[in-house]
Amino acid sequence: MLETKEFELNMGPQHPSTHGVLRLVLYLDGETITDCETVIGYLHRGTEKLCETRNYYQNVPFTDRTDYLAAPNNNLGYVEAVESLGGYEVPERALFARTAIVELSRIASHLFWLATHALDIGAQTMLFWCTREREVILDFFEAALGDRLTTSAFRPGGLRRELPAGWVEAVRDFCSSFPARIDEYETLLTENRIWLGRTVGVGVISGPDAIAFGLSGPMIRGSGVPYDIRKDLPYAAYDQVDFDIAVFEDGDTYARYLVRMEEMRQSVHIIQQCLDKMPAEGKIVGKVPKSMRIPAGREVYHVIESPRGEMGYYMIASGGDTPYKCKIRSPSFCNLQCIRELSRGHLIADVVTLIGTIDIVLGDVDR
Amino acid sequence: MPAPKKGLLTRFLLLELLKGMWLTLRYTFRPKVTVQYPLEREAVHPNYRGILRVDESLCIACYLCEKICPDNCIHLDGERGYGKGKGGKYATYFYIDHARCLFCGLCEEVCPVDSIYHSNEFEAAVYNRADSIHDLKILHSGHNIVHYER
Amino acid sequence: MSDFTIINVLIPAAQIGVILGILGLAIGYIVLAERKILAFMQSRLGPMRVGPHGLLQPIADTIKLLFKEDIIPGGVDRFIFRISPIIVVVAAFTTLTLVPWARGTTLFGYQIPGAIADVNVGILLILGIGGLTTYGVILAGWSSNSKYPLLGALRAAAQMVSYEIALTFAVLSGLMVAGTLSMVGIVEAQRDMGVWFVFLQPVAWGIFTISMVAETNRPPFDMPEAESELVGGFFTEYSGMRWSLFFLGEYTAMIVMSAVNITIFWGGWMRPFPNVEALAFLDIVPPVAWFLFKLTSWIFFYIWIRGTFPRYRYDQLMNLGWKSLIPLSIANLLITGLVMILLS
């Protein structure tokens, strides 16, 4: 008998499909994975500590840089946490505008997820088709928020500035044309036997397991748990719009793919409602003092549904104009921990699929 | 949702694959979206937060931008004097390190006289790290951008 | 060899020169075409900078590759590392000599054959020599002394060997109808029978087409070099000219496999429906042009499926090969044999 030994493969931090600087140490038997060790921290910038030394306004740009694919979502989570910490009012017009912007950012984030996920599985064309539509959304961000990626979209009390003229109409046009694009993506993937082979039954996680792991977002909705903070703990204007939660039962990569595709359609629906219900006139920013002195001891945990899942901000006021503590509960970090369970018994090619389906952003994991 | 069940016919005729191929074939002849960047330049929206500029004549050296900047990339000092054609304080030196700048727009928002503002220029690449630090002269008149020409 | 004259050497030598010269350029332009067509499918423009619409890009690429620093990483087996790209290229180029590009003609009183070498076991030689490519790939992965190339090489070994079987069985079905192993003979058999074999052997053609894509390691079967999993597969450690030799080998293999497909199933250099008199006006187009037209279509097909499909997983690829294609091809072979016995 020849002696056999485990093959140890170091995947990342420099690897084309670890979506950033994730490092995985894979222990292989042939091409089958027996164990997988996750090493993170290559992108740690100490955002939470930085937040303690900057005032409430100055922290907004830092939140852009955690989950940089869905910056408006992070901004919203932070800003709403500050608002409930200080008890500030937000005008209704700003609430609807925020909801529309955040849903646009959800579409942009899901598009880029689809682009990279499909690219990892080898469908190169999806990358360019998805980024093409994402570019349109980024143009909207550029016009309304001032930047394409690191938007610093909101300020406590509302939006940073009035929406530019013609913006609402342009977004409406996009919303009416975008569902046809989703159909095109689905033509290439949803029924394709290669795509089915690569995703069905890969990385199955049951509903109870998903809850035990603390998964959230599409990861848990793909396992049949209808948990969506937009419905369960409505924030912004989500209690005034009508939409469905996409839930699929199987808990595999294909189910999560279907969840995200359906979420994009629902987002279009939400944006249209927001634009219809948004008051045409009125203030876009409420009254918030220039120097926020929030009484010491007040604390708040505010969660929003980011494209990746439950994005939470736990903040304690210091009495001055800086928070005493700003803890970020990032969905990528919590979702990533299940990769070890998911990858056992799968092949190397599946690890790439799993990283894609968890939809991590390393800025969000390491903060 | 289980994978859609397929009949024998679809299994062998690869219908869904052919549908995908038909779509990519049609795309081959559709208009393209590429912008040939250095040759063609799309106009950025006026709201875009580009490289910071300072209007020297308006600045009253109030230090608000220096104070609000989240990563301390603005440094200035001023003195009281009447030589600049306008009473009150003016900036004697003003440095912005664009390598550190977050382009968050807080300084623009906080400026009481709209002296500091984001321009629409976005080409800030430099060969030398020191060149990314702009002094008052560059901030006022804009840094030298050589546009690509064929 | 009583009638040996210098001309018997000169004509093949000239042919080799012409084909290699054209091929060198053609591969560059196939790469450009691939980049362009993929770009068009993806709403992009592709290379645009070197020359009008990027038409001089292949030349720029070649110059760049030739002048790149020749890096041999530490710890590699130097001899094997150097020899393996050469094996790939030599094997690929040798098979080219057996491809019948056109009908043989007479020029200045000399017989000029359509293929450089019309060997009576031509198809076997193509499959045999083509199989040598696998060695180049395995040795490249092994000698690199690195983990990703090793995995790529192992995948390549398994994939190329298993698809060779389905490929050969599919070819056999065609050969049984033709009754010859010579590449020129196969085309002539199709002329005599008046029908392209794709209409007689559609299943064999389907199997051959799938296997040929897998055999040349092209997407969606590009396991050995799957860049999103194995970084660069078996040539991760290669760079510069050595790397481009693998590339050259891959594209030559694409051309040869397409040529074999055309020769066996699509009537080689013949026009469509060679025996229908009503279409005789199509004979204005020279045979070599028909061949090149068909070749271009197949190259487009390669690029087209690359632009459309995701990549198979390694085990699914093996399942497809062993559980579907090989049984199907054997069944097809048996049915072909039975029908032939019944008809004769």
pLDDT tens, position by position, A70-116: 889 988 989 989 888 888 888 888 888 889 999 999 999 999 999 88
CB contact under 8 A, C40 and B32: yes
Set of chain A residues whose Cβ sits within 8 Å of the Cβ of C311? 121-123, 194, 198, 349
Position B1 scores a pLDDT of 43
Position A287 scores a pLDDT of 81
CB contact under 8 A, B16 and A61: no
Give me the residue from C41, C43, C307 closest to B33, CB to CB.
C43
On the CB side of C109, how many CA atoms lie within 13 Å of its CA?
Answer: 1
Residue B92 is classified by DSSP as E
Q: Which residue has the tokens 């694409």?
A: C254
In terms of CA atoms, which chain B residue is nearest residue A246?
A: B1
The whole model's pTM is what? 0.87
With vertex at residue C280, the alpha carbon angle to CA C275 and CA C281, rounded to the nearest 5 degrees, is 160
In terms of CA atoms, which chain B residue is nearest residue C305?
A: B21
Position B11 scores a pLDDT of 64
Give me the residue from B24, B34, B36 closest to C308, CB to CB.
B24
Q: Give yes or no for C68 touching A (CB within 8 A).
A: no
Q: In this structure, is the dihedral angle defined by the CA atoms of residues C145, C151, C154 and C160, taken in order, positive or negative?
A: negative
Which of the residue ranges A193-207, B12-26, C212-226, C228-242 has the most confident prediction, judged by mean pLDDT?
Answer: A193-207
Determine the distance from the C-alpha atom of residue A147 to the mean position of all C-alpha atoms in its chain, rounded to a whole number.
Answer: 18
Note whether C212 and C257 are within 8 A (CB): yes
Interface residue ranges in chain C relative to chain B, Cβ cutoff 8 Å: 37, 39-45, 48, 304-305, 307-309
Which tens digit of pLDDT belongs to each residue from A207-219? 888 888 888 888 8
Best B6, B11, B18, B21 residue to mutate vs chain C (most C CBs within 10 Å): B21
Note whether A44 and A21 are within 8 A (CB): no
Give me the residue from A61, A135, A188 closest to B102, CB to CB.
A61
Q: What is the mean pLDDT of residues A257-271?
A: 90
Residues 6+ apart with CB under 8 A from A179: A265, A268
Q: Which residue has the tokens 């293929």?
A: C115
| Higher per-residue confidence, B124 vs C79 | C79
Distances (CA, A) of B5 to A135, A170, B18, C109, C319: 36, 40, 18, 64, 19
Position B150 scores a pLDDT of 66
Tell me if ipTM is over 0.85: no
Position C1 scores a pLDDT of 45
Position C2 scores a pLDDT of 47
- Is residue A274 over pLDDT 80? yes
